[in-house]
Amino acid sequence: MKVLLADGLQKQSIDELEQLGLEVCSKHFDASELGSELKKYDAVVVRSATKITKEVIDDELGGNLKLIIRAGVGIDNIDVKYAESNNIAVKNTPNASSISVAELTIAHMLSVARFLNISNVTMRQNQWNKKKYVGCELYGKTLGLIGMGRIGKEVAKRAAAFGMRVIYFDSLYNEDIGDYKFEQFDDLLKKADFITLHVPYDKKRGALIGKDEIEKMKDGAYLINCARGKVVDEAALLEALNSGKLSGAGIDVFENEPSTNVELLSNPKVSITPHIGASTKEAQQRIGREVVLTLKDFFNIGDKVVI
């Protein structure tokens, strides 16, 4: 059984795959060669860099590929429907990175509330802006959470510990969850001091937060996006930051990655990170572990190998 690790995997998990008797190759291929290369493999593991498009799948047809594993949560880099219609299963590692992404979300909230982002830049330029950087506490503020899945729930717990009032919208629910009050989408936009996003990007819908939605938000609110870049219309966000409608934004994900939106990247009101929500030792270990177990289960192998 051959497995291609197209975007790498942590060493311990590679060792475990080999203990299971799998032949593992760690190599990244360009889109033009990926499909024909995949013919030789039973499974491929990707992160976000490798895109498994319809064209890649077409190039693979007639080959051995039976399983695509996304080592991460978002499967927007895989044409899932097309893969499945060609008898190639698609799995991800949905549990592994929730805590890491939730912690980064809180970090961005604190960063914009207390000017950590811009202080880090200006102090290195010998500026002492003590009077300028008067921020706000999270305590007593309303957090509007959009998407109450695994990550949303972890963010809610941490925000509550800061003394925030948590309200949420999720298209799958319509009632309060304990102290977290359900609100209709527009009501949440109007009531929240901080809005955090925990939803996948829906191509059909387009940006969930655009000009109209920002218009409905409280004056001076903050927006945090550690979900997917296209969930927010970057042009509308920039306009709102520049006009003062929004006080700040914490952004880990971008419409295009790596982002070249210099205006956004250099905006002093933006706390910015290069899509590192799942980039912690702990999340990567859990992801590796889930990948190994998924391969073990899917191919029904290594029952006697304790990993």
Contacts with ligand MLT, residue ranges (CB under 6 A): 47-48, 72-74, 97, 275, 277-278
Nearest distance, CB of residue 277 and ligand MLT, angstroms: 5
- Compute the half-sphere exposure of residue 277: CA atoms within 13 Å on the CB side of its CA: 29
> Catalytic residue at 18?
no
Nearest distance, CB of residue 94 and ligand MLT, angstroms: 9
Phi/psi of residue 112, each to 5°?
A: -75, -30
Rg (CA), the chain: 21
Instruction: Report d(CA 145, CA 185) in Å as an integer.
Output: 10
Comparing CB distances to ligand MLT, the nearer of 49 and 123 is 49
Comparing CB distances to ligand MLT, the nearer of 71 and 240 is 71
Residue 45 CB contacts under 8 Å (≥ 6 apart), including other chains: 3, 4, 5, 6, 7, 9, 69, 71, 291
> Catalytic residue at 150?
no
Question: In this structure, what DSSP letter does residue 175 have?
Answer: S
**Max CA separation in the chain (angstroms):** 67
Nearest distance, CB of residue 242 and ligand MLT, angstroms: 27
Comparing CB distances to ligand MLT, the nearer of 26 and 36 is 26
Comparing CB distances to ligand MLT, the nearer of 122 and 280 is 280
97, amino acid identity = S
> Catalytic residue at 108?
no
Catalytic residue among 150, 165, 275, 289: 275
Which residue, 227, 226, 251, is CA-closest to 237?
251
Comparing CB distances to ligand MLT, the nearer of 250 and 277 is 277
Nearest distance, CB of residue 207 and ligand MLT, angstroms: 17
Segment (H or E) for 43: strand 43-46
Nearest distance, CB of residue 208 and ligand MLT, angstroms: 16
CA distances from 213 to 122, 188, 226 (A): 32, 10, 18
Comparing CB distances to ligand MLT, the nearer of 2 and 275 is 275
Distance from the Cα of residue 139 to its chain's centroid: 26
Residue showing the smallest CB distance to ligand MLT in the complex: 72
3-state secondary structure 215-283: HHCCCCEEEEECCCHHHECHHHHHHHHHHCCEEEEEECCCCCCCCCCHHHHCCCCEEECCCCCCCCHHH
Structure tokens given for 267:
């905006």
Structure tokens given for 206:
């387009």
Catalytic residue among 70, 108, 228, 286: 228
Nearest distance, CB of residue 92 and ligand MLT, angstroms: 8
Catalytic residue among 215, 257, 263, 282: 257
Residues designated as active site: 228, 257, 275
